[in-house]
Amino acid sequence: MHTAIIIFFGLILLALMLYIGERIGFSRQTMAYGFAALWLALTVINGAVGVVHAGQSAGSEIAIGSAVFGVPVAAMVLFMVLSAES
Q: Domain map of the chain by residue range?
A: 2-85
| pLDDT, tens digit (0-9, with 9 covering 90-100), for 18-55 | 999 999 999 999 999 999 999 999 999 999 999 999 99
pLDDT at 81 over 90: yes
8-20 mean pLDDT:
96
Q: What's the chain's Rg over C-alpha atoms?
A: 14
In the prediction, which pLDDT does 84 show?
82
Q: When comparing pLDDT for 44 and 83, which is higher?
A: 44
C-beta of residue 15 within 8 angstroms of C-beta of residue 8 = no
In the prediction, which pLDDT does 86 show?
59
In the prediction, which pLDDT does 24 show?
95
Q: When comparing pLDDT for 37 and 84, which is higher?
A: 37
